Structure 1
Amino acid sequence: MLKCSIAAVVALGSMTVSGFAQDVSLRLHQMLPPQATIPAKALKPWAEKVMQESGGRIKIDQFDAMALGGTPPSLYDQAKDGAVDIIWTVIGYTPGRFPTTEAFELPFLMTTGEATSKALQEYCEKHCMEEFADVKVIAWHAHGPGLIHSKTPVNTLEDMKGLKIRGGSRTINQMLEKLGSIPVGMPVPAVSEALSKGVIDATTIPWEVTPSLKVSELVSNHTTFSGTNGLYTQTFVVAMNKSAYDAMPDDLKKVIDDNSGIETAAFFGRVMDEGDIGGKAIAEGRNNNIIVLDEAETQRWKDTAAPLVEAWEAEMTGKGKDGKALVEEARSLVEKYSTGM
């Protein structure tokens, strides 16, 4: 009997020591192939930094290209429900679920990925917490200037008429429709096949993701715009399962917290800006047709897309939010963080 009691005490002591150390293993899941900009240059370094700062007590395994199953639109719920521990996803893949973030997807509002990501983070900390209450948000961020990659040249607004163009969110699809094209919604991993099979004539994505999707091989025209504001951006979130975070000891929570927030958002946005340089260089190296619309033509696009902003403001006001004030704040924050660009 005494031996059993001693054994029980030893076992309990072992469990206590092990429990006190509380090593944590986390699974990070995302949609893109491992060589793409975000998984290779942002998520991997972020995870390595967290692991190092935890003294090896946090282990993060990264699963790329939906390796753990599901589809890109299911990623947020995978984190919410605890099927995985951390995710990176496009917010707009679940239309209407996070409407307050859509202000940043409105046409000609964004500047660079880094500046817009800082602005988005500050804005979301103030206005979006309720929409993301069921996860621990690590960072919100945005990509660099979105542009049009097409099989036929888009030199004027009229060239958009009837083109089947992939859009990545509800707001972007609405913008494409305003501009005269036929929007086709799909997650970014589907773009290559859709272009090669003729399902779409063009796609809206930033330069940084074009190498991993081989877009510069599938199309030969790329349309950009004059001025400091890009045609659009998409918003992203890095989110953690709330229970997984809450179960961590305070010192490990601090490691996660220290790698969350505006500096993390800025890092992700900056990585995407840097990826834009490489993506554009590949298109230039292939002697693709890179079109920069002049100020007058760019203004035509702005004027044509402007009613979308007013419609979004009215829609948000109908939901009990001050839509006009949200857009004005988003613009002001982007300008604030873009000063000195």
Structure 2
Amino acid sequence: MKPIQRKLYFASAFALLLSSSANAEPVSLRLHHFVPAQQNVAAHALAPWAKKVAEDSNGEVKIQLFPSMQLGGRPSDLFDQAKDGVVDIVWTVLGYTPGRFPRSEVFELPFSSGAGEPASRAFWEYVNQNAQEEFREVKLLAVHVHGPGLFHTRDPINTLEDIKGMKIRGGSRVVNHLLEEVGAVAVGLPVPAVTEALSKGVITGATLPWEVTPSLKITQIVKNHTSFAGDKGLYTQTFAMVMNKASYEKLSIDQKKAIDDNIGIELSAAFGRVMDQGDAEGLALAKKTDNNIVELDAAETNRWKQAASRVRDIWYEEVAAKGIDGPKLAENAEKLIDHYSKD
């Protein structure tokens, strides 16, 4: 190809590219999730994100929000719904599909994480360093964790012995292992099922962060809440927002940019920040209703840490069978959490 022909070719191609982007048809993307529209994350993270993408795309990308599994299926189906193109985007709990995200599970180990915002920044960086393969079938938009997890129970928990035999809801297999190690009877349930299970006596308590308790009416159903000394919670859970790859690829360049400019570490941090703010509101509500709020002292907290230490050993053994160096991943995760917690 002669120089003049090459210049004309690239000029034409560039003009075509600009034309196709400028004339792109508006698109509507369906975002499916498992909590009510008024719930903290749905109202203060998902809805603002959808609005920002619409603004940045000049109205070309509309995100339709479908809360409470309105498009069908169970919470455990969400990741596959995005992967398979049943919907375009989902926000989900990784622990709802046990064993599928072993590298990401390290953030769920007992007493390893504290406030949601710094830990969510750490989680995004950790996934990009160590767990990208777990999200290879989707476009990853954000990952995050909630703040310190704690107990909400019918009967008070003041010592390790008090939990023996209690039927406690756990939200992931790692949390269920934790409950079993401290003597509880673990009952695996997604968040939307907790209110009914508590009301009907199927469970006598639940592991949840403060953030989600108002929408589930937890402080009305049970009156005892037990947290732990120090800046690390009993546990945390991992979340992700992911997009179907084909849904992303069909977008124009400008439409993709509106998505890409609003994902990553800052979106992950925004989720964590919203959950931290929700923790403060949930705790304030429990205090307002004059519920029994217990924070175990350092000595009692250490007893729980010792009882829960076996969970980490179990996890190391399980992931080693998959060729994963658990101690190395845990060390990396802890360094990142400490790094972002100090910023």
When the two structures are superposed, what TM-score results if normalisation uses the length of structure 1? 0.93
- Tell me the residue number matched to 2:47: 44
| Alpha-carbon separation, structure 1, partners of 2:259 and 2:307 | 43
- Tell me the residue number matched to 2:185: 182
Deviating more after overlay: 248-257 vs 119-128: 248-257
User: For residue 166 of structure 1, what is the amino acid of its counterpart?
Assistant: R
Q: Is the 8 A contact 1:226 1:298 kept in 2?
A: yes
- Tell me the residue number matched to 2:14: none
Q: Is the 8 A contact 2:21 2:254 kept in 1?
A: no
User: What is the deviation of 1:279?
Assistant: 0.7
Give the alignment partner of residue 126 of structure 1, picking from 120, 125, 129: 129
- Tell me the residue number matched to 2:242: 239
Q: Is the 8 A contact 1:147 1:206 kept in 2?
A: yes
User: What is the deviation of 1:126?
Assistant: 1.3
User: For residue 168 of structure 2, what is the amino acid of its counterpart?
Assistant: I
Q: Is the 8 A contact 2:21 2:253 kept in 1?
A: no
Q: Does 1:332 align with 2:296?
A: no
Q: Does 1:285 align with 2:288?
A: yes
| Alpha-carbon separation, structure 2, partners of 1:216 and 1:196 | 12
Q: Is the 8 A contact 2:32 2:66 kept in 1?
A: yes
Deviations 1:188-244 (A, max 9, x none): 000000000000000001001001100000000000000011111100000111100
Q: Does 1:167 align with 2:170?
A: yes
User: What is the deviation of 1:286?
Assistant: 0.6
Q: Is the 8 A contact 1:195 1:218 kept in 2?
A: yes
User: What is the deviation of 1:17?
Assistant: 7.2
User: What is the deviation of 1:277?
Assistant: 0.7
Aligned pairs, number? 325
Indicate the SS of the match to 1:99.
Answer: coil
- Tell me the residue number matched to 2:316: 313
For residues 33-182 of structure 1, the aligned pairs below 5 Å read 33-182=36-185
User: What is the deviation of 1:314?
Assistant: 2.3
Deviating more after overlay: 17-26 vs 185-194: 17-26
Q: Does 1:221 align with 2:224?
A: yes
Q: Does 1:31 align with 2:30?
A: no
Gaps of 5+ in 1: 1-15
Q: Is the 8 A contact 1:98 1:131 kept in 2?
A: yes
Q: Is the 8 A contact 1:192 1:215 kept in 2?
A: yes
For residues 296-307 of structure 1, the aligned pairs below 5 Å read 296-307=299-310
| Alpha-carbon separation, structure 1, partners of 2:256 and 2:137 | 17
User: What is the deviation of 1:311?
Assistant: 1.8
Q: Is the 8 A contact 2:170 2:187 kept in 1?
A: yes
For residues 248-263 of structure 1, the aligned pairs below 5 Å read 248-263=251-266
| Alpha-carbon separation, structure 1, partners of 2:314 and 2:188 | 20
Identity of matched residues, %: 56
| Alpha-carbon separation, structure 2, partners of 1:329 and 1:128 | 12
User: What is the deviation of 1:19?
Assistant: 8.9
User: For residue 336 of structure 1, what is the amino acid of its counterpart?
Assistant: H
User: What is the deviation of 1:262?
Assistant: 0.5
User: For residue 164 of structure 1, what is the amino acid of its counterpart?
Assistant: K
User: What is the deviation of 1:22?
Assistant: 2.7
User: For residue 22 of structure 1, what is the amino acid of its counterpart?
Assistant: E
Q: Is the 8 A contact 1:313 1:327 kept in 2?
A: no
Indicate the SS of the match to 2:198.
Answer: helix
- Tell me the residue number matched to 2:207: 204
User: For residue 192 of structure 1, what is the amino acid of its counterpart?
Assistant: T
Deviations 1:122-143 (A, max 9, x none): 0011111111111101000000
| Alpha-carbon separation, structure 2, partners of 1:227 and 1:273 | 16
User: For residue 122 of structure 1, what is the amino acid of its counterpart?
Assistant: E
User: For residue 254 of structure 1, what is the amino acid of its counterpart?
Assistant: K
| Alpha-carbon separation, structure 1, partners of 2:105 and 2:71 | 28
User: What is the deviation of 1:35?
Assistant: 0.8
User: For residue 167 of structure 1, what is the amino acid of its counterpart?
Assistant: G
Indicate the SS of the match to 2:155.
Answer: coil
When the two structures are superposed, what TM-score results if normalisation uses the length of structure 2? 0.93
